[in-house]
Amino acid sequence: MGQPAILTVDDDPSVSRAIARDLRRRYGEAYRIIRAASAAEALEALRELKLRGGRVAVLLADYRMPQMNGIEFLEQAMDLFPNARRALLTAYADTDAAIQAINVVDVDHYLLKPWDPPEEKLYPVIDELLDAWQATGDREIEDIRVVGHRWSEPSYQIRDFLARNLVPYRWLAADDPEGRRLLDAAGVGPESIPLVVTADGRAMAQPSTSEVAEAAGLSTAPERDFYDLIIVGGGPAGLGAAVYGASEGLRTLLVERQAVGGQAGQSSRIENYLGFPDGISGAQLTDRARRQAGKFDAEVLNTREVVGLHTDGSARTLRFADGAEVSAHSIVLATGVAYRPLIADGIAELTGAGVYYGSAATEGPSCAGSDVYIIGGANSAGQAALFFSRYARSVTLLVRGDSLEASMSYYLIQQLNSVENVHVRTRCEVVGAQGGGHLQAITICDSKNNTVTSVECGYLFVFIGAEPRTDWLGDAVARDEKGFVYTGPDLLSPNGGRPRGWDRDRDPFYLECSVPGIFAAGDVRANSVKRVASAVGEGAMAVTLVHRYLEA
């Protein structure tokens, strides 16, 4: 396939020559440097590269260009090379406009012009972009092909799993000619979908996510039987613990049931996370955290469901759904929370066929021209509304409360108010869903106007609060009535008494559970602050307390 390309586009000839010169000086031996004088010229170059089987590592686009600005160019370029890393070139006067525009498309960085000296202001950014591109790889999008039905829940589950784990794939409808050819080649009919075909031609009919994970090269089996630290859950708290645990020399294993990143990984845009003034998508933040954990040799286990926890002397042991076990000196519970199911007529039958929990970013392009409804009034619902407004004809937020102010961040409310095709309806609940094979309409109870109406709806996304996934813990550690895990001071009785069975001559550490050596961090912990930054901080803090426990 030859050298991968770094493409830069700027309509100012002097700037275009200067950045191409600086890029060739540093990267010319390993990368092909391509410069274009307009977005149209750059897109033509990208199309030619695509036809020839080329690869693109980084796209650098000037923000202010005639005919097509940098954001519009990057949106179209992403369709051709979705794995390429992206950066905007902008003048200082356009910084605010560029930051606001970044919300439209996932841009990794913006660079101020001029960038002298390049050793300080250009090369570190490009190095980071290239590292990220190399870490995710540039496998052809046909590496894995998925054949299924548009409104099939099992087909959606496979697509969502691959997307959330950043595995490139190609989606083919079962009634498309190429889809039918793959079904025929595999010797199965449409009733056997979803069909997953790997790069080496292996066909799997109705595979489990574990089978798909193995086919995609994701790790599904631990490398050893015993670790210093095992983390259950790969959301922000779990990733924070993995980075700090592994970087401090602990043999660290992170176990994730579905997809690293958790609910935060599904967020289309996180704008109030420290250090990212222009915002960052949940997928980008997850990707960076996962690569950072891997840099320190943290082991990440995918698609393994933990169903039990017990102690055996100084060992803390987890049991998987298949009966296998793995042990460690210490364990951090970071399983987060799951979206609460919506109880209404027809919802369960249409889940995955128009009804989705979370933002389901894979459905974005399919919403083009449709009316989308979102249930919920917290930040995750607001972020989803902004994301789907880029595709849908209209997006309506259905909020049970009187307003958004009590549950959503101010900056997000302001953004929603500025988008013309986003509407907010308060004191509303969905009481039913209808459709033949896929969602077609929902029934809304409006308590403010005392009405019950049915409206056409092709997509319904549910964000109605969350509950912990802790039933598997049983009586292993103390939990509150909702299932959240008690830790530290919450375990002490009013007179200072320690939890029953506590065998240490000290009080539990702040994040320690009712069993010494078992800690909880993030949303799963009782009375925790439900924010990404708080979860990451608790994950890091848990590792500090693990060290104190191991040194005792």
In which band, very low, low, confident or very high, does the pLDDT at 199 lie, cut at 50, 70 and 90? confident
Among the residue ranges 135-144, 224-233, 358-367, the one predicted with the least confidence is: 135-144
Q: Which CATH number fits domain 145-215: 3.40.50.980, 2.40.50.140, 3.10.180.10, 3.40.30.10?
A: 3.40.30.10
In which band, very low, low, confident or very high, does the pLDDT at 198 lie, cut at 50, 70 and 90? confident
Find the DSSP H helices in 230-281. 236-247
Q: What is the pTM of this model?
A: 0.77
Phi and psi based region of residue 542 (left: phi greater than 0; alpha: psi -120 to 50; beta: remaining): alpha
Is residue 19 within 8 A of residue 114, CB to CB? The reply is no
Which of 546, 472, 476, 475 is closest to 230 using CA atoms?
546
Average pLDDT of 452-481? Answer: 93
Residue 101: per-residue pLDDT: 59
Residue 306 clears pLDDT 50, i.e. is over it: yes
In which band, very low, low, confident or very high, does the pLDDT at 82 lie, cut at 50, 70 and 90? confident
Task: List the chain domain ranges.
Answer: 5-136, 145-215, 226-338+467-551, 347-464
What separation in angstroms does the CA of 520 have from each of 171, 245, 307?
A: 38, 14, 17
Q: What is the per-residue pLDDT across 352-393, written as a single tens digit (0 to 9) for each?
A: 999 999 877 778 888 888 999 999 999 989 999 999 999 999
Fold agreement (226-338+467-551, 347-464): yes
Mean pLDDT computed over every residue of the chain:
90
Is residue 398 within 8 A of residue 444, CB to CB? The reply is yes
In which band, very low, low, confident or very high, does the pLDDT at 66 lie, cut at 50, 70 and 90? confident
Q: Is 190 exposed, middle or buried (0-12, 13-18, 19+ CB in 10 A)?
A: middle
Cα end-to-end distance, the chain, whole Å: 56
Q: Which residues, at least 6 apart from 52, have a Cβ–Cβ distance to it below 8 Å? A: none
Q: Which residues, at least 6 apart from 505, have a Cβ–Cβ distance to it below 8 Å? A: none
Residue 53 clears pLDDT 90, i.e. is over it: no
Which of 35, 26, 25 is closest to 5 using CA atoms?
35
Question: Domain 5-136 - what CATH class?
Answer: alpha beta
Residue 386: per-residue pLDDT: 92
Q: CA-to-CA distance for 45 and 8, rounded, in angstroms? A: 11
Q: CA-to-CA distance for 30 and 2, rounded, in angstroms? A: 10
Q: CA-to-CA distance for 56 and 77, rounded, in angstroms? A: 10
Residue 488: per-residue pLDDT: 95
Residue 318 clears pLDDT 70, i.e. is over it: yes
Residue 138 clears pLDDT 70, i.e. is over it: no
Highest mean pLDDT among 60-69, 93-102, 457-466: 457-466
Q: CA-to-CA distance for 44 and 473, rounded, in angstroms? A: 56
Residue 22: per-residue pLDDT: 94
Q: CA-to-CA distance for 116 and 359, rounded, in angstroms? A: 41
Residue 376: per-residue pLDDT: 93
Question: Domain 226-338+467-551 - what CATH class?
Answer: alpha beta
Residue 140: per-residue pLDDT: 44
Average pLDDT of 528-538? Answer: 93
With H, G, I as helix, E, B as strand and everything else as coil, classify residue 541: helix
Residue 515: per-residue pLDDT: 96
Q: CA-to-CA distance for 209 and 200, rounded, in angstroms? A: 18
Residue 316: per-residue pLDDT: 97
In which band, very low, low, confident or very high, does the pLDDT at 81 lie, cut at 50, 70 and 90? confident
Residue 104: per-residue pLDDT: 58
Is residue 371 within 8 A of residue 393, CB to CB? The reply is yes
CATH of domain 347-464: 3.50.50.60
Residue 141: per-residue pLDDT: 43
Q: 154 vs 114, which has greater pLDDT?
A: 154
Residue 100 clears pLDDT 80, i.e. is over it: no
Cα 364 versus chain centre, distance: 14
Highest mean pLDDT among 47-51, 147-151, 184-188: 147-151
With H, G, I as helix, E, B as strand and everything else as coil, classify residue 105: coil
